Amino acid sequence: MSGLSGFPELLPAERNVELHVLDHLRRVFELHGFANVETRAVETTDTLLKKGEIDKEVYVLKRIHAGEDEGDAGLGLHYDLTVPFARYVVENAGHLEFPFRRYQIQKVWRGERPQRGRFREFTQADIDIVAEDELPFHFDVEVAQVMAEALGGLPVPQLTLQISNRKVLEGFYRGLGVADPAAVMQVVDKLDKMPPDAVAAQLAELGLTEDQAKLVLALAEISTPDTSFVERVRELGVSHELLDTGLAELAQVVGSTRSIDGVTVVADLRIARGLDYYTGTVFETRMEGYDQLGSICSGGRYDQLASDGRHTYPGTGISLGISRLLVPLLADGLTSDRSVPSAVLVALVDEGSRDISDEVAARLRARGIPTEVAATAQKFGKQIRYAERRGIPYVWFPAAQHEVKDIRSGDQVAADPDEWNPPAEDLTPHIKESPT
């Protein structure tokens, strides 16, 4: 871990865990036809400040020796991948095919004051589907399914993907006769950090009656692993057209997104997402034993993502906080069993025969086996220790009759550099899941 607060850095064995996660995400996203895009790290401050909510957290750039007349560059580091993607879509609309599925895995930056658990640099993995003018609802189901599948393969504790729909909340509040549903949603969004009493008090401040506040809180308590939430909501006796639409949409997403090993999918009507650009489906994700992290994977439907005057580009997507997820797990002991990619260390008999060891290594690499050659011709015992300290499982001894030793078991066998293969699972580092 790094010496600069908020800027996590990983050791090589830890980075192997992150690479494993990134590779897995990429594989799942590409299997589903999501194209990869990277956007530049900087946006104009105009673009960054359009969404007022987090303008305090932006890092702006300045050339260190900018002349007096030059002023600021007018550029800042992006704080998420949604705003840059919206800009990219509008800028390149003429060259993109819609509906456009994209995944994007990049670092983002927020100028937080240093404090425990707040990152100032972190990696996110986003998937979004964007269309021109109109985006059929089944894409909301698709992003939920794809992200659930992606989450399912991660070496992390049990996850709960919580799905809600702002039309359910807004329709319910409107049915109740509430004047400002958006304000109520922002208060309900605090249920994670505040006891229900305090939330009720804030609802009263917004002018809700005690009965209205009770029903708002009763709605927020509904969480079901299937579509039975529809009935539970109906039992509260509120009706509104928008509520009907929202319930039908949410039932479709929850009904079509299966819980799988490692990921429980639930409808959870406490989920509102504070950000006001969401217009329908919303997602959050909790990790068992790590409640204090809040949601590690969030998103939803935004019908007004971007517009260039002639067209609007509605979208739906989810963003996974890779650093938010991994850094605490790595601190708790999640790691890999190697600090190098090498599966084999070729021993060196003496410096004069380095050619021979190099040749063996080349023959192993030619067949896809990551291999390094010992740095110096120490005694073989020391060369074995050298492999052991790096987690390299095999040491190769070049000779007229070559031999290879599995240094974990001690087994040593004759082997041909053009034939021998380690078991497939030894070709790459193993992830060692954390004890929690």
Q: Which of residues 308-337 bind its own copies (CB under 8 A)?
A: none
At residue 52, what are phi and psi to the nearest 5 degrees? -65, -25
Tokens, residue 3: 């010496």
- Per-residue binder mask for its own copies (CB under 8 A), 347-376, x = binder: -------x----------x--xxxxx--xx
Residue (333 or 368) nearer to its own copies, CB: 368
For its own copies, the binding residue among 50, 62, 190, 408 (CB under 8 A) is 62
Binding segment for its own copies among 169-177, 291-299, 313-321, 385-393 (CB under 8 A)? 385-393
Tokens, residue 165: 């729909």
Residue (209 or 376) nearer to its own copies, CB: 376
CA quadruple 370, 376, 380, 384: dihedral sign:
negative
91 binds its own copies (CB under 8 A): yes
For its own copies, the binding residue among 11, 179, 201, 399 (CB under 8 A) is 11
Residue found under tokens 């002639």: 310
For its own copies, the binding residue among 52, 64, 195, 400 (CB under 8 A) is 64
Residue (8 or 181) nearer to its own copies, CB: 8
CB 20 within 8 A of CB 431: yes
For its own copies, the binding residue among 20, 21, 81, 101 (CB under 8 A) is 101
Residue (7 or 277) nearer to its own copies, CB: 7
Cβ neighbour number for residue 129 with a 10 Å cutoff: 24
Residue (130 or 187) nearer to its own copies, CB: 130
CA-to-CA distance for 104 and 334, rounded, in angstroms? 25
Site for its own copies in 27-56 (CB under 8 A): 30-42, 44-45, 49, 55-56
CA quadruple 239, 240, 242, 245: dihedral sign:
positive
Residue 44 beta carbon to its own copies: minimum distance, rounded to whole angstroms? 8
Residue 257 beta carbon to its own copies: minimum distance, rounded to whole angstroms? 12
In terms of Cα–Cα distance, which of 50, 65, 125, 58 is closest to 306? 50
167 Cβ neighbours under 8 A, 6+ residues apart: 242, 243, 245, 246, 249, 279, 280
421 binds its own copies (CB under 8 A): no
In terms of Cα–Cα distance, which of 401, 423, 405, 421 is closest to 413? 405
- For the chain, give the number of residues: 436
Site for its own copies in 132-171 (CB under 8 A): 136, 138
CA-to-CA distance for 403 and 58, rounded, in angstroms? 58
Residue 436 beta carbon to its own copies: minimum distance, rounded to whole angstroms? 22
Residue (2 or 421) nearer to its own copies, CB: 2
